[in-house]
Amino acid sequence: MPRVTSRLHQGTAFAVLVLGCLATPLKALPVLKQVSEIRKLSVYEARQGFPVQLRGVVTYFDNIGPDFFFQDATGGIWIHWTPGLPNPQRGDLLELEGVTTQADFAPDIAEPRWHVLGKGALPTPVHPSYEQLASAVEDSTWVEIEAIVRAVSLDTAPAPAGGYLRLKLAVDGGRALALLPPPPDNKAPTDLVEARIRFRGVAASVFNRKNQILSPLLHISSLSDIQILEKPAAGPFDGKIESIENLQRFSYKGASTRRAHVRGTVTAVMGDSGFFVQDPTGSIYVGGGDTNSLKPGEVVDVAGFPGVLDNRPALEEPTIRQLGSIPTRIPPLISYADALSGTYDSALVRMEGQVEGVAQLPGETDLVLRDAQGMFTAISKSKSQNADMKTLQHGSRIRLTGICLVDSDALGNPVSFNIRFRSGQDIVVLQTPPWLSPERAATIVSVLAFAILGALAWVGILRRRVQSQTEIIRTTLESTADGILVLDADGQTVLWNQKFAEMWRIPEDVLRAGSSQKRLEHVMDQLKHPEQFTAQMESLAKSPGEQTDDVVEFKDGRVFERHSEPRRVGGRTEGRVWGFRDVTDRVRAEQALRVRSEQQAAVAVLGQSALTETKLDSVLETASVLVMRTLGVDR
């Protein structure tokens, strides 16, 4: 049955279970006594731990996986065996107890306990189709299958990661993998390759971490369970050498299940995945095999099973024999149309084109090239790239050597192609691009246009900012009680506030004119000490970096406090800022307070004199002196 349980099924079972619990007291789970009952459970139900009591026979066991399969009259199932439990033997008749679970894609039995009743007869084997194997309908079932052995290997990794003898099989309709415990001599029986065999074992599945079925898997207890129906040829290279051109061609005899023997020259090695080989009639991809010692230019014999990979003929599960090396021949120089015709599929060729793009990816380099007829890509997955790859420039014209791989549609019609080059040494730069290429010129114009637009936008932004800041400064200046005057390095008026104009009684047109001479002409007649004012201005002109604080007195009695300091722009003195504060009222108040204090002191002294002096003349003399001192009059 299919190993898929719908969400609706799970939800319904859960709802029924909950309603049952609400309606009646909690009951013990029923005992399941047939494998078929367990196989029908959903994931949720299997994980409830239904008790199990079964009677059946062991069909397979190994402690490498470990894998333990059991089958009764209704079906087969996998048993979760753990170290410490007895090692069952195939054919043991068991009374087995446990609980249901589902650790992966199908229901299983956990916490097994069993009693061996003796030896029992193995079930009558099922003869499943490939579709039944691939869909896991016969999962855990004792089966009998005929197949062609395509490859034999022995795991070198220790258990539980490895340790199996692996047979790659061609079953009618597809491919499958068979696992066996290693033989006593720990040697792989490579003489089984190409043999037609019949064997009995247990059907299983390879699945991923999401419990999705990927491919059929078969467990065989030993090599003695394999019957050879048709022996292979004496050796992989004993058959006649076939031309690559004739592989996968129509024959009234039908497709051969035997390995094809070809001889050719290695044109490209694609890492561990395989290599390309070429003879005078054509080229073909060889998938797999030991490619570590292969190099382009080597002559090899290849015996492999004809197949199709990526919509192109290939040889799979190859046996390779190295015969030596020959001088490398220069590949044909082809055009875009030649490549797209399909004639050169899998062949080593040369093409010329202009570099339109280079992408350096981890473990891969991609080029986009253009010739007169179209654009195509070139790909290299070589781990070592030479320095020239990193210096390829857009617009360079290169000659590229590589394998032409044609992509076809479902009907075999070529639709596109790419070149798989082996390393940076397959690239020859024919012409470097001029510095001022049309693309670069367009880029420069675009950059300049954006720069100009950006500059204009920035100027506009700065202008608005300056205007905003100017208004802020002017508002600040107008809100202060002091008169402010800003001059440049030549003494010309830069900025002032209304308070300054009112304090100094200077017409606005004079201030706007900016002339220092006209400004001074309007203020000199107002000053009490103009010569002192002029002398100080001249002193500041000689020492523009000084900061000053003083008082300016006017003829009409007004008094201003004056503060000035240099105006610095970028660390340089670019003029002076003056600040004026009208302190007339304060000065007059201070003078009145001082006079009153002096008068009070004089009265106190006169009183003291009157008490101590007995002569009236002396007291009058003292009073006269105090009055004159208080009034500031000299004798």
Q: Where do the domains of the chain lie?
A: 7-119, 137-230, 264-431, 480-582, 591-631
pLDDT over 70, % of the chain: 88
Distance, CA of 400 to CA of 415 (rounded, Å): 21
Instruction: Give the per-residue pLDDT at 603.
Output: 73
Q: What is the mean pLDDT of residues 104-114?
A: 93
Which of 56-70, 339-353, 379-393, 574-588 is least confident? 379-393
84 sits in the region (left: phi over 0; alpha: psi -120 to 50; else beta) called left
What does DSSP say about strands 374-380 and 414-420: parallel, antiparallel, or unpaired? Answer: parallel
Q: What is the mean pLDDT of residues 438-461?
A: 86
Instruction: Give the per-residue pLDDT at 140.
Output: 95
Q: What is the mean pLDDT of the chain?
A: 84
Tens-place pLDDT, residues 141-191 = 999 999 999 999 998 766 554 589 999 999 998 999 999 998 888 888 988
Which of 262-271, 294-303, 340-349, 428-437 is least confident? 428-437
CATH of domain 480-582: 3.30.450.20
Distance, CA of 102 to CA of 46 (rounded, Å): 6
- Residue 309 CA, chain-centre distance (Å), reads 31
Measured CA distances, 534 to 528, 564, 575, 607 (Å): 12, 15, 18, 49
CATH of domain 137-230: 2.40.50.140
Greater confidence (255 vs 458) lies with 458
Q: Is the pLDDT of residue 4 over 60?
A: no
| pLDDT band, very low/low/confident/very high, at 384 (cuts 50, 70, 90) | low
Evaluate whether 264-431 and 480-582 have a shared fold.
Answer: no
Instruction: Give the per-residue pLDDT at 87.
Output: 94
CATH of domain 7-119: 2.40.50.200
Residue 486 identity (one-letter amino acid): V
Distance, CA of 94 to CA of 306 (rounded, Å): 46
Residue 524: strand, helix, or coil: helix
- Residue 64 CA, chain-centre distance (Å), reads 39
| pLDDT band, very low/low/confident/very high, at 23 (cuts 50, 70, 90) | very low
Measured CA distances, 468 to 258, 458, 473, 478, 572 (Å): 90, 15, 9, 15, 25
Tens-place pLDDT, residues 26-38 = 468 999 999 999 9
Partnered with residue 562 across adjacent β-strands are 550, 580
Greater confidence (193 vs 383) lies with 193
pLDDT over 90, % of the chain: 39
Q: Assess whether the previous peptide bond of 160 is cis (omega < 30° from 0).
A: yes
Instruction: Give the per-residue pLDDT at 119.
Output: 95
Tokens of 413: 């019609």
Instruction: Give the per-residue pLDDT at 378.
Output: 92
Instruction: Give the per-residue pLDDT at 18.
Output: 35
Fold designation for 264-431: OB fold (Dihydrolipoamide Acetyltransferase, E2P) (2.40.50)
Q: Is the pLDDT of residue 7 over 60?
A: no
Distance, CA of 277 to CA of 509 (rounded, Å): 98
Number of Cα atoms under 13 Å in the Cβ half of residue 71: 24
Q: What is the mean pLDDT of residues 127-137?
A: 92
Partnered with residue 542 across adjacent β-strands are none
Instruction: Give the per-residue pLDDT at 497.
Output: 86
Q: Is the pLDDT of residue 285 over 90?
A: yes
| pLDDT band, very low/low/confident/very high, at 513 (cuts 50, 70, 90) | confident
